Every structure is written in C-alpha cells, then in structure tokens.
Structure 1
Amino acid sequence: MKSLRSLRVAVAVIPLLTQLALVPSVSAQDYPDHRITFVVPYPAGGAADAIGRLLAVKLSETWKQPVVVENKSGAGGIVGNDYVAKAPGDGYTVLIGISQLVQAPNVGTKLPYDVFSDLSPVTQAVLIAPLFAVPVQRSEKTMEEFVNAVRANPGKISYGSYGIGTTSHLYGELLKKKAGIDMTHVPYRGAAPLTNDLLGGQINAAFVEVATAAPQLSGGKIRGLAIGGEKRSPLLPEIPTLAEIGFAGFEAQGWIGVFVPAATPRDIVKKLDSELSRIIKSPETAEQIKRMNLVPVGDGAEAFATVLRQDFRRWGNIARESGVRVE
C-alpha cells in the first residue's frame, strides 16, 4: 500500500514539474525581448503622463523594443497603482507613480497594496515643488504680509487645494497650524479648476505645483510668495522656501518616480534603473524636463528607496500635525 501511495504521488507531481520546466526564467540577459507597458495611474495630459511618455519614447529608442503608455486612472491613482502591484514581476509592467503613494497611507486612505512590500522603486524621475501663490490682484507681496492679512480677517480668506488629502491640502492645513491663522479650505477636483479660480480671484491663495503655476507666474497672473522643499527651486530661485521665512516642516516635495512589482528580479530592476537614470540625466532629456517646469533627478533605485522612507515619515508628520484625514 505504501509503495502504491508513493507511486500515485510521483505520478501526480510529474505534470507540475513539466509545467515548471516549460516556464521561461526571467533574466536580465534576455530582457527586454518584447513590449514594455508604462502604466500611468492618472488621465492623459498631466505631469505624470508627460513624463511617462517622454521616458517611454527614449527607452524604446535605446532598447529597440516598443514601450507603450497606458492610462489606468481611478480612485486618485489607486487603480493603476494596484494594477502594477499585482502584475507579474517580469519587468514588462512598469508604474509611473507620484508622491501620493506615500501620502495616501498617512491620511487614512484604505489601499489594496503596500508601497513598500508590493512595489520596488526603480528611479526617481523628477521633483515637483509646491508653490504658495496668490492672484496678482491681491496686494500682498510677501508671505509675512499674507499671514498678517489672514490674521486680521480670520475665516474670511480662502485657500484652494487639488482635493482632500492632496499635497496642497496637507500643506494648507499645516500652514494654518504653523502660522496660527484661520483660512477656509476650498477643495477642487484637480489642478485645472483650482488654477482657473486662483487666476480669477475666486479663491485667495493655494499651494500649486510649480509645473502648473510657472506659465501663470511668467505671465504675471499669479504671484509666488513661498515654496516648499529643502532648498529653493532652480526653476524659481528668487522665491524663498517656507523654512527660510520661519515655517519649518514643509521640506517634503512632490515627485514622479518609476516602480515595478516587488517580485521583479533585482538584475532586471538594476537594468531598468541604469538605463532610465541615464536617460533622465542626459542633457537632452534633462532640458526637456526643465521645459515642463520640473526638476530632473534620476538618482537610481537605492537613493529613491531612501527618499520613499524619508518622505513616508515626513508626510506622516505633516498629516498628524495638520489633522488631515480622508474619511
């Protein structure tokens, strides 16, 4: 009986072993040998989409394989992020993600994935500095003047954001706490409607991305009073950081980065990292990125992993101090 049982087990295992033998090994030596898909978890037309398409073109030219961009938007980026987190770890499904990945868990958003255990960082593509701006028709020329105006009119001056739990909302609430002021929060559904109302003066101020604000700044339609980040933006060197004018805690910046599923072999991650970082730092691509009013980075997987941990803590501190929660 024991021999018969052993024989049955062996017969049952043979098909499984045969299937495993037929599964091709995923190796950087053969990678890539077919189409790569860049998943952008937001609609076409935004900064993440523009960066994804730029990198897709450059990578395709280098590797002589098609690299296509698919926009899988929904739930503030969660749909596309989750799609990649659950994709095969073979290097052919790549996420063009943003700092929302480390912000969302800190404001109570329920997520079907974990950015640290389900995704592997490849490289940080760009930095996106948050700019505090007011309509040009307002009289304030400095952050101090604006804060004083709010103090003199508690609850009567509004600030807009891209929506509940976004960078602009977190920074707006943090500013209220740091400066001891009372502003009314007006959430919008994204950058376009927020910018339109800021230009028209329907709202009195907002934290807006430099990429969005730069054309309006150069056109004299809005005025930048301060900027987030550890140091001044090379795109707007004349505008002081919030830390410079006495408001610490605004060091975290927005970013766009490249990720793959966590199961992706390290040699494939390294190959993607090496090539994409080279592309981002190349003079031609870096100049194209700067023309989008973004700051090129391309420091690679290890540096990006450090940024993720650091920014996760920073946004956690900001969320706790500002009191922002997504219900």
Structure 2
Amino acid sequence: MTRRALALTMLGATSLVMALPAKAQDAAKSYPDKRINFVVPYAPGGATDVGARLLAQKLQESWKQTVTVENKPGAGGVIGNDFVAKAAPDGYTVLIAITQIIQAPSLMSKLPYDVFKDLAPVTQIAISPIVLVVPDGQPFKSVKELIDAGKTGKFQYGTFGNATTSHLYGELLKKNAGIDWTHVPYRGAAPLLNDLLGNQVTASFLDFTTAGPQLEAGKIRPLAVGGEKRKPKLPNVQTMAELGYPGFEAEGWLGVFVPAGTPKPIVDKLSAELARIINSPEGTAGLQAVNLVPVGDSAESFEKTLKRDFERWANVAKTAGVKGE
C-alpha cells in the first residue's frame, strides 16, 4: 500500500511538471487577450516616456490589443519599479525602466525589490548617450581646458539629479582629474538645460536626448561623450576613454522588464515583437529622432548587459564616492 501510494504521488508530481510547460505554451498562444499596461516610473515628457509611447503605439497596431502607458513617478524610479515587481506575472504589466534600476543597488542601502530576483528582462530598447557639454558662453573648447580651469578655480557642474548617471560621471571625473567643482543637482534634465543656456553652471554631463536640439543650435558645446564608442550623430566628439579617462564605458539605456515568474514563452513572445518594432524602419527612426541609439535584443542578451553594467556602475559608484539619498 505504501509503495503504491508513493508511486501514485510520484506519477502525479511528474504529470504536474509536464503540464506546467504545456500550460505556459497555451498562455503564450492566447497572449495578449486583454489590455497591456506599460508602466513608466518617471513623469511624462522625458526620453523614457517618449520611448514607451512609441513602443506602445506600435505594439497596439501590431497585436490589435490596447496598450496603455501609465506614469508612476517618485523616489527616483523606485515606486514604479516596485509596482511592476509586485504585479501579477502574466505579461500584462510591463516596466519601461532606465539604467537607474541597476545603479540603485550600489547607491541605496535598501530597496523594496531585487532587480535580478523580482524582475525579468525582456529587451533593451536603446542606449541613451551622455555628453559632456558647456554653455556657448564658456570659453572651454576641450576637456583639457575645462580640467585645467577646474584645477585652478572653483566652478559648478549641474546634473539632472542626485545619484543619477550625470552625477556619477561628474564625480568620477572630479576624482580622476583632481578638479575642484561643486555638484548642483536639478530636478530633471529640463531645468538643468535652462540654467546651462543661462550660463549659470559651467558644465554638465547631459543626456543626448535633452542636449541634442541645443547642440544643433550651437547654444551648448560638446566636449566628450561617454560609452565605448563615438556616437554616429557626433562623430568628431571623442569618448572620455579616448581622452585618457577610464570608467565612463557604462552608459545609460532604456529597457523593458516584466515581473519575475512570467512564463518564458510570454517573455519570448513580447521580446521578439518589441525587438522587431525597435529594429523596424519606423521604430529606429522614432528612437533616433530623440537621439536614442536603438538596440532591440533578446531577453538573454539583455540579461547579460544587466549583469555587466551592474558591475560597471558598482565600480563607478565606489570610485566616485556617490550615495543615494
């Protein structure tokens, strides 16, 4: 009787294990059969919001299913990230996040979620280049001139917020170059840009989406870019690494996540369709129009990027001595 009961239990467990993949496949076949909600953990109007709305529109057209965009700003993105991390893992609540999501663990002592345990990567949307700029009213024509001035006199550099990529880059240069400049954090890139145009801050590491139109207008001047390579729209602007300053290889990006536990067939289906949209002529043009560099990769590829960049930003935060509030 005992052996028979044990055999029946094992048979039932085996049947359940075999049924789970089949159930996941069935769910993927019917997905999506209701509204999909894209959650943006920042206010409307920024690069993250623009990218999310572009993808939402194209996904809605492709899948003939409603795709909404919901802005949940607060705590530097933590509120929106946490909302998705705790949502049902069914593919209907989707996070459009930025690099902050893997920078935060090295900057904050406590987070309500674990990016590697509570969220699953779907695809990297695009890279958001960072440009070291000065107002046209400043005399500096190179990074060397800026650094030389920073060694002999105090000046201010602006960022789009404390413990952001802009801040990390600024403090890293301060440490590496031995310059004395004061950090002035702003509540976003837009107010920072206004003070740059007014020549109220000497320099800034600014995202290319915000900086692009003013660079074209000649109102601010590019001195260098972050990342491993030069940017197609700024081919003559050297990288920080080319100029002899390592540590600026990690870049900002936009990426898509779903709650951990979302069936892999659903993750793969969403990843493939979003990657197709991103790499389509319309998707690429839409992202490039706001000076983003399209990526559109697989979930597996994006996961490798996350692990690589997590280590990179941890090293930058440690070297720069930056901590979140």
**How high is the TM-score relative to the length of structure 2?**
0.91
Paired residue type of 1:200: G
Structure 2 partner of 1:180: 178
Distance 1:114 1:24 in 2: 24
Match for residue 191 of structure 1 among 189, 192, 196: 189
Match for residue 300 of structure 1 among 298, 301, 305: 298
State whether structure 2 residue 94 is matched by structure 1 residue 97: no
Distance 2:254 2:35 in 1: 22
Distance 2:97 2:69 in 1: 13
| Structure-to-structure mapping, 1:1-327, within 5 angstroms | 27-153=27-153, 156-327=154-325
Q: What is the deviation of 1:300?
A: 1.6
Q: What is the deviation of 1:238?
A: 1.5
Distance 1:225 1:26 in 2: 53
Q: What is the deviation of 1:264?
A: 0.2
Paired residue type of 1:53: R
CA pair 24-176 structure 1, distance change in 2 beyond 3 A:
closer
Q: What is the deviation of 1:104?
A: 0.9
Deviations along 1:149-168, whole A, 9 cap, x unmatched? 11121xx2110111211111
Q: Retained in 1: the 8 A contact 2:128–2:251?
A: yes
The ranges of structure 1 where at least 4 consecutive aligned residues each deviate by more than 4 angstroms after the TM superposition are 23-26
CA pair 290-109 structure 1, distance change in 2 beyond 3 A:
farther
Paired residue type of 2:118: D
Paired residue type of 2:87: A
Structure 2 partner of 1:16: none
Q: What is the deviation of 1:290?
A: 0.5
Q: What is the deviation of 1:110?
A: 2.3
Deviations along 1:244-269, whole A, 9 cap, x unmatched? 00001100110000000011000000
Q: Which runs of 5+ in 2 are unaligned?
A: 1-22
Q: What is the deviation of 1:170?
A: 0.6
Deviations along 1:17-63, whole A, 9 cap, x unmatched? xxxxxx99971011111110001111111111111110001001111
Paired residue type of 1:107: L
- Percent same amino acid among aligned pairs? 59
Q: Retained in 2: the 8 A contact 1:26–1:265?
A: no
Q: What is the deviation of 1:121?
A: 0.4
Find the residue that maps to 1:113 and give its secondary structure: coil
Q: What is the deviation of 1:109?
A: 4.8
Q: Retained in 2: the 8 A contact 1:134–1:225?
A: yes
Q: How many residues end up aligned between the 2 structures?
A: 303
**How high is the TM-score relative to the length of structure 1?**
0.91
Q: Retained in 2: the 8 A contact 1:98–1:255?
A: yes
Q: Retained in 2: the 8 A contact 1:26–1:90?
A: no
Find the residue that maps to 1:116 and give its secondary structure: helix
